Amino acid sequence: MMWIFEWDIPTGDSAALDSIYAVTGDRVDAAIDEGEQAVTLARRMRDLVAGTDPATWRDAGLREHFTDTLDYQVNLFEALAAYRTMVLRHAQWLDTGGRAAYTGWRTAETAYHAARDAHRKRYGADLDLPPYNFTAADLGARRADRDPAMAWAARALLALILAVVLLGLLGRGAGGGAARGLLLGAVRPWRVAALPAPGSRVDRLLVWLVPAVVLVASRLVFTWFAAPAHLLVTLGGWALFALVVRLVVGRRDPFHLWAVVGGVALLRSTLLLAALAGRGPGRYWFAFWTAPALRAAYLTVAFAAFCWLFVATAVVLRDRYGLPRRRAVGLTLTAAGVPLGLLAGLVAVIGLERALTVWNDQLALLPWGLSRILGITVYLGIPAELPGYAAVAGAALAAVGLLLSLGHGRRTA
């Protein structure tokens, strides 16, 4: 029963399955063999009972019921053993990248699908011996299937970013001005103000289009193209921030603003894509659940890159657009508070438990049955009022930013 979440729901979430793999250590083959041994033992039990003389039973109906139950056990154990092999080989591939593990995973996946279908077909309408619910298992398996393709997509996006960097270092040709602006915006935003405004419409288009494409594509790859709820929050946050700072600039040329915001977006996306390029999102979450030191290092760098967006934006508002330091900081705080307040408010209206359930169903990170049996917020001890608090914090941050920005005229750029 340790291999399933609740009674008849084999889990498909990365948190449980990756942790189980980590516990096996170097005994993956032994763990897989134990699943096969369980099937062998169930078959032996079934054969022993089926081989008894019906005349020796006080009730022939009881014997039939007994053998039917053991047939069910054999059939179920075959499906669970195949599933055990599939998830362990997949996790082994995520861990090692070995060809043998990959081949074993794909072979076991075929066996699992056949055993699962046979189980459903045989017991789908049986009320006495009901089939197991493989919904959660299939959710996880479908996302695992996409890991190799997502890894290649991440590599392609990294190649695109590398091309932007090289073009930015050269600073010549079509798109060179945009690439130069994005490169400086990512790492040295205080130098963006000195860049001449490009005369090329291509540069003005690429300076925001390339980061937007990479931002959207990288988050699609991160979510296996299967989690629109996650995209709504992450991409919605970026879009709202960009909208507010664009309103701050007003009728002035937004090229330098897009160079900074887009450059930091590329920087942040590079970090994410580097984590995905190895073996896809599955490897990302495998390390998240099983490697605390690596997780802490990644989250520290990722959070620093996130905070860098606000620093860089305030710098370009001050240096290029002539806003006094206090006003630039205040309006940047407002731009940060607006997405926090609106998106947290949306979650509060939907309900935190419902929002987390939809999010988790699409990403398959926590047990699928958690929200249906215990409740994610209840089990994890998350206050249901948390989105409301976050919405208030976002509104307060936006208000404080506006107060800081009042009463200060623009200085000359």
Instruction: Give, for all 413 residues of the chain, the pLDDT tens digit.
Output: 444 556 788 999 999 999 999 999 889 999 999 999 999 999 999 999 999 998 899 998 899 999 999 999 999 999 999 999 999 999 999 999 999 999 999 999 999 999 999 999 999 999 999 999 999 999 999 999 999 999 999 999 999 999 999 999 987 767 889 999 999 999 999 999 999 988 789 999 999 999 999 999 999 999 999 999 999 999 999 999 999 999 999 999 999 999 999 999 999 999 999 999 999 999 999 999 999 999 999 999 999 999 999 999 999 999 999 999 999 999 999 999 999 999 999 999 999 999 999 999 999 999 888 888 888 999 899 999 999 999 999 999 999 999 999 865 445 44
Residue that is written with structure tokens 């990302």 in the block = 284
* Confidence at residue 3, expressed as pLDDT on a 0 to 100 scale: 47
Residue 412 belongs to a domain: no
Stated as kind and residue range, the H or E segment containing 187 is helix 176-187
At residue 5, the pLDDT reads 55
Asked, for residue 123, whether it belongs to a domain, the answer is yes
Q: Are residues 112 and 166 in the same domain?
A: no
Is residue 411 assigned to a domain? no
Displacement of CA 54 from its chain's centroid (Å): 56
Write down the pLDDT at residue 207.
Answer: 96
Residue 322: Cβ within 10 Å count: 16
413 assigned to some structural domain: no
Of 330, 318, 343, 219, nearest to 269 (Cα)? 219
410 domain-assigned: no
Domain boundary among 145, 160, 187: 145
Residues 65 and 209 both lie in one domain:
no
| Residue 371 belongs to a domain | yes
260 occurs within a structural domain = yes
For 76, the domain range is: 4-145
- Can you tell me the distance from the alpha carbon of 12 to that of 15, in angstroms, rounded to the nearest whole number? 9
Same domain flag for 70 and 187? no
CA 119 to chain centre: 31
**Residue where a domain stops, chosen among 95, 112, 145:** 145
CB-based contacts of 277: which residues, under 8 Å, 6+ apart? Answer: 151, 154, 155, 158
The CA–CA distances, whole Å, from 389 to 28, 352, 385, 386, 399 equal 45, 12, 6, 5, 15
145, 177, 194: which is the final residue of a domain?
A: 145
Q: Are residues 126 and 162 in the same domain?
A: no
d(CA 327, CA 321): 11
β-bridge mates for residue 6, sequence order = 9
The reply to whether 104 and 232 lie within a common domain is no
- The closest of 41, 39, 34 to 20, measured between CA atoms, is 34
Whether residues 166 and 287 fall in one domain: yes
Distance CA 361, CA 345 (A): 21
Q: 269 and 177, same structural domain?
A: yes
Is 324 exposed, middle or buried, given 0-12, 13-18 or 19+ CB atoms closer than 10 A?
Answer: middle
CA dihedral 176, 179, 180, 183 (to 10 degrees): -160
pTM assigned to the model:
0.92
Q: Are 329 and 318 contained in the same domain?
A: yes
Q: For residue 11, give the DSSP letter.
A: -
Residue 138 and residue 107 share a domain = yes
Distance between CA atoms of 291 and 25, rounded to whole angstroms? Answer: 13
In a domain, 267, yes or no: yes
- Please count the structural domains in the chain: 2
Are 264 and 161 within 8 A, CB to CB? no
**Do 76 and 93 fall within a single domain?**
yes
C-alpha distance from residue 149 to each of 105, 109, 143, 204, 271 (Å): 15, 17, 11, 32, 19
Q: In whole angstroms, how far apart are CA 220 and each of 116, 121, 163, 224?
A: 29, 35, 21, 6
The answer to whether residues 331 and 236 belong to one domain is yes
- Residues 106, 185 within the same domain: no
Asked if 154 and 280 touch (Cβ cutoff 8 Å), the reply is yes
